[in-house]
Chain A
Amino acid sequence: MIEQQLINGLMLGSIYALVGVAFSLTIGMLNFLNFSVPGLFMLGGVLSYGLLKAGFHWSIAFVLTIAAITVVSLVIERFTYRWLRLSSPFIPLVSSIGFLIVLENSAIMRFGSESMRVPSPFKLTDLHLAGLFISAPQLLGLVIALVGAAIMSLMLKRTKLGRSIRGIAENPRTAETLGINVNRTVSSIYVITGIFAAVGGILFALNYQQVAWYMGQEVAAKGLAAMVLGGMGSLWGPVIGGFLVGLIEVFSIAYVSSDAVNAVVYGTLLALLLCWPNGLLGARISTVERM
């Protein structure tokens, strides 16, 4: 029934929203396409699986996973964003592809190439509302996506870190002369991006109860579509875009076929890029050069 599909789509979309925000943060603030986001997404899912399987309590598993993601994000930053070497905008992009490859193959080596079943970590009641079914992880995902975006939005507007981030996005070169600690701010952006991606991975694991080394690849396309649809470089754009992509996916599975999903989602992404690259909330990527 359509309403159930709508619910499913929105719930699914919350994961895409998180990944979309992660992509959008690096494009908007650091001006490059960050391919390590799907890798971190996968790492979040796979690590939490590993820790749960090893018997840790879910709260510890998730905290440890986030901690690990923070460390990995800092390592990636160290090796990706060479501040002064911005001669080519695709240098950090290529590095991030390298990290994606390293992360995925490390996961294969440690966990094998098959998908793994995630044990259910806690008992939460599912909701039954007006004949509709909403599972606990689905609702959790929706809440986390919205709350996460709201916190991020507040942070960008009200805190010192937020101002520093916006300063760097505006003009990286003068940011330093304005007293912004560029290194620390850039590191924070990487960590925040990693956390958004990893939380998406954890939610994915909880929702589908399955993780695999390739889980980042499919979600990547949907996260990117969410970002472009919503507006590259914005915060709430990918959130809205994520929900829309979730709906598109659910409806294509229901009314076309499950095989066609990839073609539809990637096709949507391509069509958006060719015809409507600004998306809903507008893009703000290119920095204005001074001659």
Chain B
Amino acid sequence: MAPDTPALAICDLSLRFGGLCVIESLSIDVKRGSRTAFIGPNGAGKTTLFNLLSGVYSPTEGSILLNGRSLQDVPLAKRVHAGIGRTFQNLRLMKHLTVLENVMLGQHHRTSIAGTFVPLVSRFNRAAVDKALKAIHAVGLQREADRLAEGLSYGMQKRVELARALVTEPKLLLLDEPTAGLNTAERSELLGALKSAVGLDVTILLIEHDLGFIGGICDHVVVLNFGRKIAEGTLDEVKTDKAVIAAYLGTGRRAREASFAA
């Protein structure tokens, strides 16, 4: 694999449900180790794109290359083996299990046969437990490791999801609106956790609406609307792009005079 193979190469990707075209001719190259944000009005197809990457949907046309390898024949359950880790817009945790147990789900795909028959949270499973605890520590939840997920605050639950995604040791990390529902303090906690916990060789894709958060971590922004890419570049370039402003604010006089506030 050449050093400048893009971590993710999406080429002419389209997804149609009957007559409804949800993603249209999308082409994006993502550099390895970059932090790319996807923004766009609701319904633009951002989560759908993540679902395509996760294997929930199969593209109608086009291709997805992960580190040069096509994902076409990689079924849903094998995508995590390929190196794709993910969090979800609406939390998908097992509420009545502990934080540790939830995070350990992330190791499921890598457990050996021998590891299958030992009690999950026990000294016979030391290595796996330690790895999970490390991820939990990385997101700052070490004191909650033994608590049931349902007893945590929303912000903490989001961090559990992040830990679970981290423990899969992903090459491509998909974060779907990680700050939705968080207050300012929780947002900066999450930003700190992201910066410190995620290695520089991991590529991050981030769906977000909070431009400040995006500015704090992302070096590249892609704007989607109606399933199409309408702009791409740094945050500043994108903020002043006419097509982007039109997408969010329309094309009236005031919109034309507007630009995104910082």
**Which A residues contact B (CB, under 8 angstroms)?**
291
- Give the nearest-CB partner of B92 in chain A: A291
When A and B form their complex, what is the total count of cross-chain residue pairs whose Cβ atoms lie within 8 Å? 6
The interface residues of chain A lying within 8 Å CB-to-CB of B89 are: 291
- The yes or no answer to B118 lying at the interface (CB within 8 A) is no
Bound form: Cα–Cα A274–B47 in Å: 35
Chain A contact residues, majority secondary structure: loop
- The yes or no answer to B5 lying at the interface (CB within 8 A) is no
From 66 to 110 in chain B, residues with beta carbon under 8 angstroms from any chain A beta carbon are 88-90
- The yes or no answer to B56 lying at the interface (CB within 8 A) is yes
Bound form: Cα–Cα A291–B90 in Å: 7
Bound form: Cα–Cα A286–B172 in Å: 31
A-B residue pairs in contact (CB < 8 Å), sample of 6? A291-B47, A291-B51, A291-B56, A291-B88, A291-B89, A291-B90
Instruction: Please give the number of chain B residues whose Cβ is less than 8 angstroms from any Cβ of chain A in the complex.
Output: 6
Chain B contact residues, majority secondary structure: loop
- Give the nearest-CB partner of B95 in chain A: A87
Interface string of B32-58 (1 = CB under 8 A from A): 000000000000000100010000100
Bound form: Cα–Cα A60–B88 in Å: 59
**Nearest Cβ on chain A to B99's Cβ, whole angstroms:** 21
Bound form: Cα–Cα A291–B88 in Å: 8
- Give the nearest-CB partner of B50 in chain A: A291
The interface residues of chain A lying within 8 Å CB-to-CB of B88 are: 291
**Nearest Cβ on chain B to A287's Cβ, whole angstroms:** 15
- Give the nearest-CB partner of B17 in chain A: A288
3 closest Cβ pairs, A-B complex? A291-B51, A291-B47, A291-B56
The interface residues of chain B lying within 8 Å CB-to-CB of A291 are: 47, 51, 56, 88-90
Bound form: Cα–Cα A291–B52 in Å: 12
- Give the nearest-CB partner of A288 in chain B: B17
- Give the nearest-CB partner of B47 in chain A: A291
The interface residues of chain A lying within 8 Å CB-to-CB of B90 are: 291
**Nearest Cβ on chain B to A170's Cβ, whole angstroms:** 15
Interface string of B179-217 (1 = CB under 8 A from A): 000000000000000000000000000000000000000
- Give the nearest-CB partner of B48 in chain A: A291
**Nearest Cβ on chain B to A135's Cβ, whole angstroms:** 49
Bound form: Cα–Cα A182–B92 in Å: 27
Bound form: Cα–Cα A291–B89 in Å: 7
**Nearest Cβ on chain B to A61's Cβ, whole angstroms:** 51
**Nearest Cβ on chain B to A230's Cβ, whole angstroms:** 25
Bound form: Cα–Cα A291–B46 in Å: 11
**Nearest Cβ on chain A to B97's Cβ, whole angstroms:** 15
